[in-house]
Amino acid sequence: MSFEPQKINGKFKGKDIVSLDQFSPKDIDILFGLAKKMQKIAYNGKPSDVLKGKIVTLIFYEPSSRTFGSFGASVKQLGGQTIDILNPQVFSSVSKGETLEDTIRVFEAYCDAIVIRHPVAGTAKIAAEAAKFVPIINAGDGIGEHPTQTLLDLYTIQEKEGKLNNLTGVMAGDLLNGRTIHSLLRGLSFYKKNTVYLLSPKELKLSKDDYKKFSSLGVKLVEIENDKDIPKNADFWYWTRTQKERFKSIKDYERLKTPFVVTKDLVARKAGKKTIIMHPLPRIGEIDPVIDSDPRAVYLSSQVRNGMYVRMALLSLIINGK
Amino acid sequence: MSFEPQKINGKFKGKDIVSLDQFSPKDIDILFGLAKKMQKIAYNGKPSDVLKGKIVTLIFYEPSSRTFGSFGASVKQLGGQTIDILNPQVFSSVSKGETLEDTIRVFEAYCDAIVIRHPVAGTAKIAAEAAKFVPIINAGDGIGEHPTQTLLDLYTIQEKEGKLNNLTGVMAGDLLNGRTIHSLLRGLSFYKKNTVYLLSPKELKLSKDDYKKFSSLGVKLVEIENDKDIPKNADFWYWTRTQKERFKSIKDYERLKTPFVVTKDLVARKAGKKTIIMHPLPRIGEIDPVIDSDPRAVYLSSQVRNGMYVRMALLSLIINGK
Amino acid sequence: MSFEPQKINGKFKGKDIVSLDQFSPKDIDILFGLAKKMQKIAYNGKPSDVLKGKIVTLIFYEPSSRTFGSFGASVKQLGGQTIDILNPQVFSSVSKGETLEDTIRVFEAYCDAIVIRHPVAGTAKIAAEAAKFVPIINAGDGIGEHPTQTLLDLYTIQEKEGKLNNLTGVMAGDLLNGRTIHSLLRGLSFYKKNTVYLLSPKELKLSKDDYKKFSSLGVKLVEIENDKDIPKNADFWYWTRTQKERFKSIKDYERLKTPFVVTKDLVARKAGKKTIIMHPLPRIGEIDPVIDSDPRAVYLSSQVRNGMYVRMALLSLIINGK
């Protein structure tokens, strides 16, 4: 795809970012090249003018202070400003019965891009179709997609491993419900010869459909149920929390809350010198805090910062076309 | 009136904007002239410095994401920043029993202007009297006023029709309770020879007092109860939603929810080539979305954008005096 | 202490501001000298670039629109921007069980400093220990500390009286529970020969421990229970509200709500020409509004503005080191 604004019905509109599937490996290369430059902009101490005079609306229909903070920081690091609309379904005319389409058309009049978070899958696409002038970025729509999360995960792997193919990784936790898991598997499928060990209790295994889908897309999947079967020296570990909000019974949740924990012992037994330890956060006990200071642990350091660089790059591309 | 800061008790204070009644046609001319320039500033792609270094507090005691977004964008389009205080009665020392006057006097120390939204009529005036150094803008105080809404409505009519007198318009919906209706009638009364057809079910007719008041102010009013009686080729249609929050019985509300809908058929039968179709939003079914793409429909396009230009102009006038 | 960023584990980190006890009189001198300059920056009409390109996260776990507004204004007056995170325990991944430490480490990746407000004493210290790269400012942690409140109180006294020693003051209200009272007594103890008359009903007297502590630190304390015993011509009066949230019984609270009120009569009887009347706000009836226009009343004027100047100075010192 092209990141440049496109002429639609005689009007230029920036590229909507709704799904990871829009990206080719070449697009990802362009994005990551710019993200690398953004890293320098963010920490050189000099104010950036990349988005000076630009306004981005952050409209969040469900709470996510991390994603909200990351997008807000991305805009502001580049000298832009945000309009923050939180929980409009409670605090605004949305509560009076306004459609999402009308809300989007109103806010697009005020700004240069809209970042939307919504609990219902498919909402970002509806918003993108409603917006006539400004691009929409999907910041997570329920069990749907959260493309910038996956892009930052891929960026982190590439930064540390120098490649996105020929990788061996471990993904652990709630593989059944975890959106980040599914999305990263999709991302890895863009590249060749990647193998992922899927560590989870039986109840939280990847669904059969997902297993088939990602296998057929070219990712080699190996399901394991015991951390003894983790391969040594994998390139990355990607741990996730069990998605409490998907459980009907609190008892079931408690039993499956932290089936596998990254401990010092596990790291000593299985991790290699270059194995990076990732987590999309928040973590609720899946990684012992004693690991935080291990240089291979990136979940509280470069993985978080990379989210900002990737979002800075994406905003610059879709607003400025470069 | 003069938009320039006035010396009060030896201190300069910008002009408070509490009521539409403060404006003479000449004031409106000045404002609209500047709003026209603001339109260019907003879309020329160059950052504006008009409010650089200025801070505007947006203090909203009731939700209104549209008005909040519009004022916020107006400040930021001009290079200023906002302090956003939402629902202070729940989330702040207001909940500890502080008076509005004290709250205003605290916040005026931090900023160059305060925009206030409040559910109780008359609050903006109280705030304006409390503020000693910075101007107050009324962004809607319950069944009181919302002057910038009416100013943007007038601006939109003038932009499309080239004049604010000798107009024939149709206003429909909840004429009994609709603040925007009353306020626009007041605005039209500043100009000569305007005729407004008032379309509503009996229960939602303009009150007798309001009917008398606007008639005596010079607006010719024609009450109709059937869309057959809409005049052909009116200059503007101004549709509004039925104000659910004013009904005591949900049953009554449901019956009177959408008594008149702008449909393709109605437009074909009654609208002229230059009839503009307006709505203050949110709409809850009063206008068929199929009308949205009609070039005469301005409610999701220029009417929204004009709100930003008019507010940009007003902020510039009361903060900078020009 | 030094306000300059310190090298910790090979990384520079700005100075955390957790407690008033970190400050020596010399530190306070440096801070107040800069605050004086900030006063000029805030009102010279020229945009400041002191924090241009800098981002400060305001993370408030409990409502405080005044402190939130003051810090936000301080950042923006200096040309910086904020990321506003309000009630994350309700609206974010904190609600999913994330630890404070993880939240801080995520947000420090996005910004140059974090201002934290939290209902639990000791939280600011935990946050400061968690943050590896950016300084933490305590904006109030429950019955713990709120150092910038005391610094602005001291600044106001020095501005008006020209000194911070050899003072005679009156503190009234809820001396048992009032955090601002305890903290200002601590601040006054840094300087020599200060006498404070403590006016309160028996039930709200300073605790014995606090009485001993502040006495031993060198402040001369005189407990009184009747406003007749207020000394004439004191340098400052510092009135506070009774802390409703600390009472178990609403009846007890009502009885002790406003035991002593600053009235015109009391001022006429006891205040001198240079006695300044202070209040940390919000007030709930402890000072008759008729006093507001008295030039000696500073609670709604210079005391509020000084809060902004002191915070501007502090932010500049810990972010820029100057």
Report the distance separating Cα A306 and Cα C109, nearest Å.
Answer: 9
Looking at the DSSP assignment, which residues form a beta bridge with residue A220? A195
C90 Cβ neighbours under 8 A, 6+ residues apart? A63
- Top pLDDT among C244 and C153 is at C153
Say yes or no to pLDDT of B91 above 70: no
β pairing state of A81-86 and C195-199: unpaired
- Does C85 contact A76 at a Cβ distance shorter than 8 Å? no
Provide ipTM, 2 decimals: 0.94
Give the Å distances, CA to CA, from A48 to A79, B266, C111.
Answer: 5, 52, 14
Q: Crossing angle of helices A302-320/A25-43, nearest 10°?
A: 110
Give the Å distances, CA to CA, from C237 to A31, C70, C264, C294.
Answer: 61, 23, 14, 14
Range(s) for CATH 3.40.50.1370 in chain C? 20-146+308-320, 147-303
CB-based burial label for A52 (10 Å; 0-12, 13-18, 19+):
middle
- If you count DSSP H runs as helices and E runs as strands, how many of each does chain B have, helices first? 11, 11
| Number of alpha carbons in the 13 Å side-chain half-sphere of residue A204 | 29
Nearest C-alpha neighbor of A114 from the set A57, A49, A197: A57
Name the residue of chain B whose CA is nearest to A102's CA.
B300
Nearest-Cα distance to chain A for C106, in Å, is 6
β pairing state of B113-118 and B55-60: parallel
pLDDT of residue B11: 76
Name the residue of chain C whose CA is nearest to A52's CA.
C53
The model carries a pTM of: 0.96
C-proximal residues of A, 235-274, CB under 8 Å: 241, 244
Determine contact, residues C221/C215, Cβ cutoff 8 Å.
yes
Listed in sequence order, the DSSP H helices in C162-301 are 179-188, 208-216, 250-256, 264-270
Report the distance separating Cα C80 and Cα C72, nearest Å.
Answer: 9
Residue B51: φ, ψ to 5° = -115, 25
Q: How confident is the model at residue B293 (pLDDT cuts 50, 70, 90)?
A: very high
Report the distance separating Cα C84 and Cα A65, nearest Å.
Answer: 9
Of the candidate ranges A318-322, B53-57, C39-43, the one whose mean pLDDT is the lowest: C39-43
Q: Say whether residue C300 is in contact with chain B using an 8 A CB cutoff.
A: yes
pLDDT of residue C88: 86
pLDDT of residue C255: 82
pLDDT of residue A141: 94
pLDDT of residue C12: 82
Active site residue B123: no
Determine contact, residues C71/C116, Cβ cutoff 8 Å.
no
pLDDT of residue B7: 80
Q: From the list B73, B281, B304, which residue is nearest A55 (CB)?
A: B73
- Does C45 contact B52 at a Cβ distance shorter than 8 Å? no
Q: From the list A79, A84, A241, which residue is nearest C84 (CB)?
A: A84
Report the distance separating Cα A243 and Cα A228, nearest Å.
Answer: 24
Nearest-Cα distance to chain B for A196, in Å, is 45
Determine contact, residues B40/B51, Cβ cutoff 8 Å.
no
Active site residue B296: no
pLDDT of residue C130: 97
- Top pLDDT among C276 and C92 is at C276
- Per CATH, domain B147-303 is 3.40.50.1370: yes
Long-range contacts of A36-43 (CB under 8 A, 24+ apart): A36/A309, A37/A313, A38/A77, A38/A78, A38/A308, A38/A309, A38/A310, A38/A312, A38/A313, A38/A316, A39/A305, A39/A309, A41/A77, A41/A78, A41/A312, A42/A77, A42/A305, A42/A308, A42/A309, A42/A312
Q: Which residues from chain B sit within 8 angstroms of residue C86, using beta carbons? A: 91
Say yes or no to pLDDT of C237 above 70: yes
pLDDT of residue A36: 97
Q: Which two tokens stand for residue B282?
A: 């949110």
Q: From the list A48, A73, A241, which residue is nearest C110 (CB)?
A: A73
Report the distance separating Cα C300 and Cα B78, nearest Å.
Answer: 30
Of the candidate ranges A7-21, C162-176, C183-197, the one whose mean pLDDT is the lowest: A7-21
Nearest-Cα distance to chain A for B297, in Å, is 13
Q: Crossing angle of helices C147-161/C302-320, nearest 10°?
A: 120
Q: How confident is the model at residue C92 (pLDDT cuts 50, 70, 90)?
A: low
Determine contact, residues B205/B174, Cβ cutoff 8 Å.
no
Beta carbons within 10 angstroms of residue C20's beta carbon? 23
Give pLDDT tens digits along chain A (322 positions): 788 888 877 778 999 999 999 999 999 999 999 999 999 998 787 899 999 999 999 999 998 999 999 999 999 999 999 999 998 877 655 567 789 999 999 999 999 999 999 999 999 999 999 999 999 999 999 989 999 999 999 999 999 999 999 999 999 999 998 999 999 999 999 999 999 999 999 999 999 999 999 999 999 999 999 999 999 999 999 999 887 777 788 888 888 888 899 999 999 999 999 999 999 999 989 999 999 999 999 999 999 999 999 999 999 999 999 9
What's A20-146+308-320's CATH class? alpha beta
Name the residue of chain B whose CA is nearest to C245's CA.
B96
Strands (E), chain A: 6-8, 11-13, 55-60, 81-86, 113-118, 136-141, 168-172, 195-199, 220-224, 236-239, 276-278
- If you count DSSP H runs as helices and E runs as strands, how many of each does chain A have, helices first? 11, 11
Q: Say whether residue C97 is in contact with chain A using an 8 A CB cutoff.
A: yes
The mean per-residue pLDDT over the stretch B204-224 comes to: 97
Neighbours of chain C (3+ CB pairs under 8 A): A, B
pLDDT of residue B92: 58
The mean per-residue pLDDT over the stretch C212-236 comes to: 97
Catalytic residue selected from B13, B54, B117, B182: B117
The mean per-residue pLDDT over the stretch B94-120 comes to: 92
Report the distance separating Cα C93 and Cα C57, nearest Å.
Answer: 16
Active site residue A82: no
Q: Which two tokens stand for residue A255?
A: 């039993």
Beta carbons within 10 angstroms of residue A99's beta carbon? 16
Neighbours of chain A (3+ CB pairs under 8 A): B, C
Query: How does the average pLDDT of chain B come out, rounded?
Result: 94
B282 upstream amide cis, omega within 30 of 0: yes
Q: Which residues from chain A sit within 8 angstroms of residue B66, using beta carbons? A: 92-93, 106
SS3 B100: helix
Task: Identify the DSSP state of A173.
Answer: S
- Top pLDDT among A33 and B94 is at A33
